[in-house]
Each structure stands twice: as structure tokens, then as C-alpha cells.
Amino acid sequence: MGKRELICIGCPMGCPVTVEMNGDEIVSVSGNTCPRGDAYARKEVTNPTRIVTSTVKVEGSCVEMVSVKTKEDIPKDKIFDCVRALKGLTVKAPVRIGDVILADAAGTGVDVVATRNAWPSCHKEAECQQAVDGS
């Protein structure tokens, strides 16, 4: 019988939770002080998922990078595949919050979307130029 030790992230308490496993089957969850701890532990040992955030280069804008995220959480073991798929990617301005930057990232079925705007030249042109000049 296997054991998994976790720290619950549901609240600042941070309960140490122990999950006893029989193969893929959960036998018991202990150490949690509330139902949220139980639910967190069960999800974490069967199907842990995360939202992944990163950045990609943008061309033709006064900003160099556009921040991005997976639109939904993806399996934890796909994090590095997802980041690798974004590596070397360059997008062209304009980019708006929510634009799809990479469809179906690393075969997860989840799109990577932009989390900031990047205008071709900032809507305030004079100021944008200053930024390009490096002032």
C-alpha cells in the first residue's frame, strides 16, 4: 500500500494531508481539518492540474513580450511540454487580451491565450516613440 504526503493549499492553515493508496485506488485521506482538504487531496493524487503562465515575443509593438496563460488548467505533467511549445514563438502586434496565441497546446486540447494587449504602436503615439527610443 502506498502513501502520499501533501500540504493542502485550500487556506493558510496548510494542513499536512496523508493519502493512502492501493494502486490507483484511494483507501483513505487523513490529516485534513475540513472537506476542502479531502477534495484537494483526492484531485491532487488522481489528476493534478495547473494553469500555466509564460510569455512570448511580440513584433511591431512598443512592448517586447506578451504574457500568456493556458485558458484552463492542464495536467501537471504537461507543464514543460506546454512551455516548450511556446519557446521560440513570435507573434505580431496587435494582440488583445484573450487572443489565441497557440491552439491545443502540447496536445492538451487547451488553448494558450494572451493576457495583455500589445498595440502596433501605443494608442498614444508620441509616448510610444519615447519608449522605443529608450528614454
The 8 Å CB, 24+ separation contacts for 117-121 are 118/58, 118/61, 118/63, 118/66, 118/93, 118/94, 119/61, 119/62, 119/93, 119/94, 120/60, 120/61, 120/93, 120/94, 121/61, 121/62
Instruction: Indicate the residue among 21 and 83 with the shorter CB distance to other proteins.
Output: 83
Query: Which residues, other chains included, contact 134 with Cβ-Cβ below 8 Å and sequence gap of 6+?
Result: none
N-to-C CA span, the chain: 63
Regarding 3 and contact with other proteins (CB under 8 A), the answer is: no
CB of 85 to other proteins, least distance (A): 12
Query: Which residues, other chains included, contact 3 with Cβ-Cβ below 8 Å and sequence gap of 6+?
Result: 18, 19, 20, 21
Regarding 13 and contact with other proteins (CB under 8 A), the answer is: yes
Instruction: Indicate the residue among 23 and 135 with the shorter CB distance to other proteins.
Output: 135
Please identify which residue in 4, 93, 116, 121 interacts with other proteins, judged by CB under 8 A. 116
Please identify which residue in 3, 43, 76, 92 interacts with other proteins, judged by CB under 8 A. 76
CB of 127 to other proteins, least distance (A): 5
Regarding 43 and contact with other proteins (CB under 8 A), the answer is: no
Regarding 100 and contact with other proteins (CB under 8 A), the answer is: no
Cell triple for residue 12?
493558510
Regarding 131 and contact with other proteins (CB under 8 A), the answer is: yes
Contact residues: other proteins, CB under 8 A: 6-9, 11-14, 33, 50-55, 57, 62-65, 67-69, 76, 79-80, 83, 97, 115-117, 122, 124, 126-128, 130-131, 135
